[in-house]
Chains A and B, each alone.
Chain A
């Protein structure tokens, strides 16, 4: 069974640009969560989608947005990139949103570097 697939694996952008990251969840999983990982802040929750609806959102500016498609695939967009947005962006999928036994499985991440 294929795991969570994130594309691309690496991205280099310049300040002011925008970027779109993609995540394909494990087959049958309907919930997708996004996290930002940096050396200083660790793993921080961005948002969670279930059945194409945002169910939860972390404390990030509005420049960070996402969406989920009917096949559960998800995209995350960051507009007007800042140097501080350089990070590993991780996507995790689970069978459903919240609930007991709801284990989140992570992809390998997209490494974004903003110059």
Chain B
């Protein structure tokens, strides 16, 4: 069964203080790893998809990286508006029993103080 573990559960940063969020996963044949951002009372907003180990993607202050066992979401010089819950999810490849569905981690609640 696919498993996704995110750490830390909560992270408090000062504005401008860079840090990283971790997503460890176990899946039978990774089809893709996804990062989403969720604000209170809203649905998850898509950020990145990573497909193979060594791949990196960037968007503004965010950079996502992928290895064979985990992914990191690096936040450089965060601002208060980056405060949100960040969710990691994996999608199993063909041949698996859960092909197509997303298996989510519990999320990391990020708070950036001005």
Q: Which B residues are CB-close (under 8 A) to A103?
A: 34, 46, 49
Query: Which A residues touch B101, using CB under 8 A?
Result: 33, 45, 48, 56, 58
Q: Is B42 an interface residue (CB 8 A)?
A: yes
**Chain A positions 75 through 115: 1 when the CB is less than 8 Å from some CB of chain B, otherwise 0:** 00000000000000010100001111111111111000000
Which chain A residue has the least Cβ–Cβ distance from B45?
A106
The answer to whether A100 and B51 touch across the interface, beta carbons within 8 angstroms, is yes
* Contact of B100 with A42 in the complex, beta carbons under 8 Å: no
Over the window 49-66 of chain A, the binary record of Cβ atoms lying under 8 Å from chain B Cβ atoms (1 yes, 0 no) is 000000110100000000
The answer to whether the Cβ of A43 comes within 8 Å of any Cβ in the partner chain is yes
A42→B106 contact, CB < 8 A: yes
- Are B107 and A101 neighbours in the complex by a CB distance under 8 Å? no
Q: B100 near A55 (CB under 8 angstroms)?
A: yes
Report A1-38 residues with CB < 8 Å from chain B CB.
4, 6, 33, 35
Q: How many A-B contacts if CB must be within 8 Å? A: 65
CB distance from A40 to the nearest CB of B (A): 9
Question: In residues 16-38 of chain B, which contact A (Cβ within 8 Å)?
Answer: 31-32, 34, 36
Q: Which of B79-114 contact A (CB under 8 A)?
A: 87, 89, 91, 94, 98-107
A-B pairs with beta carbons under 8 Å apart, 27 shown: A33-B101, A33-B102, A35-B104, A43-B87, A43-B102, A45-B98, A45-B101, A45-B102, A45-B103, A55-B100, A56-B98, A56-B99, A90-B43, A92-B102, A97-B100, A98-B91, A98-B94, A98-B99, A100-B31, A101-B32, A102-B91, A103-B46, A104-B46, A105-B46, A106-B45, A107-B43, A108-B43
Q: Which residues of B contact A (CB under 8 A)?
A: 31-32, 34, 36, 41-46, 49, 51, 87, 89, 91, 94, 98-107
Besides A99-B100, A101-B49, A102-B32, 15 other CB < 8 A contacts?
A35-B104, A45-B101, A45-B103, A56-B99, A90-B44, A92-B102, A98-B31, A98-B94, A102-B91, A103-B34, A104-B102, A106-B44, A107-B43, A108-B42, A109-B42
